[in-house]
Structure 1
Amino acid sequence: MDRPGGSRLERVLADFAEQHGVVSRAREQLRALSVTALSRDGAVQVTVDADGRAAGIRFVGQPFRDMTAPQLGGSVMDALTTARSEVETRTTAVLATAGFRLPPSGPRCRWTARPRTPRPRTGAVSCASPRGGDGPRSRP
């Protein structure tokens, strides 16, 4: 004969196992996340990983040869910004699907070189609105 407490514990454990599976799948999706974007002028293609770090830059065709350094730099930044924005969109979708509640357009977390208050560690997470709005940032 089942005790009422035992069946409740079984339900809690089953719920935990289900949620653990959801979180594990989300973690794997985020680990595998990679986005490639093309600059508006079509001269540069940039691939970023789930953290928004550039994993590859490719110059498409020959147009880049006729570009000035500032133009080429602008194309790289354009593709990088587009890819980072898409990573952020996909990350938000994965987390939302996993049941994480995210602020509608809340602050982004970023690594800062120095903590806001003195601490013995060298880096800290600061959840403040980004200045430039250029997507996820990495540790210094």
Structure 2
Amino acid sequence: MTEPLQERIAQAMAELQATQAAVARAEADLRQASATVRSSDRVVEATVGAQGELTGLKFLDNKHQNMTGPQLASSILEAVQQGRAQMARRVMDTFEPFTQPGPEGSARRGIDLDWNRIFGSALDGDQGRSRRSSRARLRDEIDEDSQ
């Protein structure tokens, strides 16, 4: 037995409002988020915000004074890139539930996000973790099952 159209519309609207509220909470949480990482040589500490922006930079124990310019630049770039990658992963993990379809009978289809297009080079420091769109991963899983 099918539900009357008005009930289905009301259910879809309630789901939409719940999703909008969840997205707003996630965005508010991420506005306050940051990642602080140290370079592997422990010379530089970089803090990066949720949008990948550099919000803090510290030179630890004056170790930078014994470095050449290119060495220091390399340490800074390494720490910043690690921080950007860490924040990109956090953002992706936060929004991953919205990329999935809703439960059986739900009107929510899930959104398809191209994380590489969104974060670009920030994912280069993601230590080999492949982040493709949710639908591309699903297509790969379906293809694997059919073989």
Structure-1-length-normalised TM-score: 0.67
The offset of 1:95, in angstroms, is 1.1
1:58-137 equivalent positions in 2, closer than 5 A: 58-99=58-99, 100-103=111-114, 107-109=116-118, 133=124
The answer for the alignment partner of 2:9 in structure 1 is 9
Question: Any idea what SS the aligned residue of 1:102 has?
Answer: coil
Aligned length: 112
Amino acid at match of 2:116: P
The offset of 1:39, in angstroms, is 0.3
**Mind listing any 5+ residue stretches in structure 2 that lack a counterpart?**
100-110, 127-147
**Mind listing any 5+ residue stretches in structure 1 that lack a counterpart?**
111-128, 136-140
Question: Any idea what SS the aligned residue of 1:56 has?
Answer: strand
CA contact (8 A) 1:43 1:61 kept: yes
Amino acid at match of 1:35: A
1:31-70 equivalent positions in 2, closer than 5 A: 31-70=31-70
- Residue by residue over 1:51-83, the C-alpha shift from the partner in whole angstroms, topping out at 9 and shown as x without a partner, is 111101001113112111111111111101110
Distance across 2 between alignment mates of 1:67 and 1:84: 24
- Residue by residue over 1:56-113, the C-alpha shift from the partner in whole angstroms, topping out at 9 and shown as x without a partner, is 100111311211111111111110111011111111111103344434xx63247xxx
When residues 109 and 9 of structure 1 are mapped into structure 2, their CA distance, relative to the original with a 3 A threshold, is: closer
Higher helix content, 1 or 2 = 2
- Residue range with higher mean Cα deviation, 64-73 or 6-15: 6-15
CA RMSD of aligned residues (A): 2.6
Distance across 1 between alignment mates of 2:46 and 2:98: 28
Structure-2-length-normalised TM-score: 0.65
